[in-house]
Amino acid sequence: MSLQQPAPRPLAQQIRRWVVGVIIVSFGIAALGGIAVLLSGAFNDTAGRVLATTALTGLFSVAALCGVALLGKQMQWFGWVTVGIAVVALGRVLWLLWGDPSWNDPVFEITVTLCILAAVTAIVSLLLLLSDHDRSVVRVLLYITIGFIALGTLLTLLSVWQLVDDGLDSYWRGTGVVWIIAALGIVVLPVMSLLLRAPKQVQPPIVQQQQPVAGVAPGFAQAQAPAVAQTSAQTLPLSPDSVARIEAVARGAGITPDELVRRLLP
C-alpha cells in the first residue's frame, strides 16, 4: 500500500506566505520597540521616533497585506504594485523620521503622493478580489468605482503638486463629488457581491446504461441493474489531494475551481 504525497504548494501561495511572514516579523520588532519605550518611561525625541515607527509600520503593513490578498488571483500583478508602493512609502516616511533630509527637493509633495498612492492601491486591491464575480453587473460597477477612485486620486495629486489654482471653488467641489461617488462604490460593492452571488447549482448524478457483459445471462444482468444504478447514483467525495490539485491548477490559470471543472468537463 503506497502513501500519496501531498500536492506541492503553488508558487504564488508560497510567496504570499513569505511576504506575510516578513510583514509580521517586521511589525513585531517595531511593536516590541514601542512597548519597551512605553515601559521604560523615557519620553524623549528618540522615544517619540520609536513610537512613530511602530505606528507607521503597522499602517503600511496593513496596506501591504491588502496587496498580498491578490497574490494567486487573476489581478495579482496589481497586488505586487500595492506591496511595492507600501514598502517605498514606509521607507520614505522612516527616512524623514530618522534621517536628516534635505529640503531642497519637494519632500512634502513626494511623501504625500506616496502615502496617497499606498492608501488608494490598498483599497483597490481589496475591490479587485471581486473581479471574478459571477455577475456582470458587479464587475461593471467594480471598474466604474475604480475609475472614480483613479480620477479622485489624480485631482487630489494635482492640488498637492500645486498644478491648479487653490482659489478654484468649482475644482474642489468637483473633487469632493468624485470622492463621494467613489466612497459610495467602495461601500456598496461588497454588499452587492454578497446579495447577487448566484447559488451553486448541484448537477444530478448521471447514471449510465449498463452494457450486457459477454457470458452473463440477460436475466442476471437485469436483476443486478437496480443495485448498479443505486451504486452509481451515490455521490463519492473527492480526496483532499484531488481537491488541492484542482485548486492549484485553477489558481495557475487565474480562474476559479468551478470554472476549471466546467471547462474540462462541459
Distances in Å between the Cα of 98 and the Cα atoms of 48, 49, 88, 261 are: 11, 7, 15, 54
User: What residue has cell string 489624480?
Assistant: 154
Q: Read off the pTM.
A: 0.67
Give me the pLDDT at residue 36, please.
80
Question: Measured between alpha carbons, how far is 163 from 156 in angstroms, rounded to an integer?
Answer: 10
Q: What is the pLDDT of residue 72?
A: 82
For the chain, helix (H) and strand (E) counts, in that order, are 9, 0
Question: What is residue 27's DSSP assignment?
Answer: H
Chunked into runs of 10 residues, the chain (266 residues) has average pLDDT values of 48 73 77 79 77 86 89 88 94 87 76 95 94 89 96 94 83 94 94 76 49 49 49 62 82 80 78
Q: How far is CA 137 from CA 24, 131, 141, 192, 220, in A?
A: 37, 11, 6, 9, 56
- Written as nine digits, the cell of 106 is 519637494
Q: Which single residue is written with the C-alpha cell 513569505? A: 18
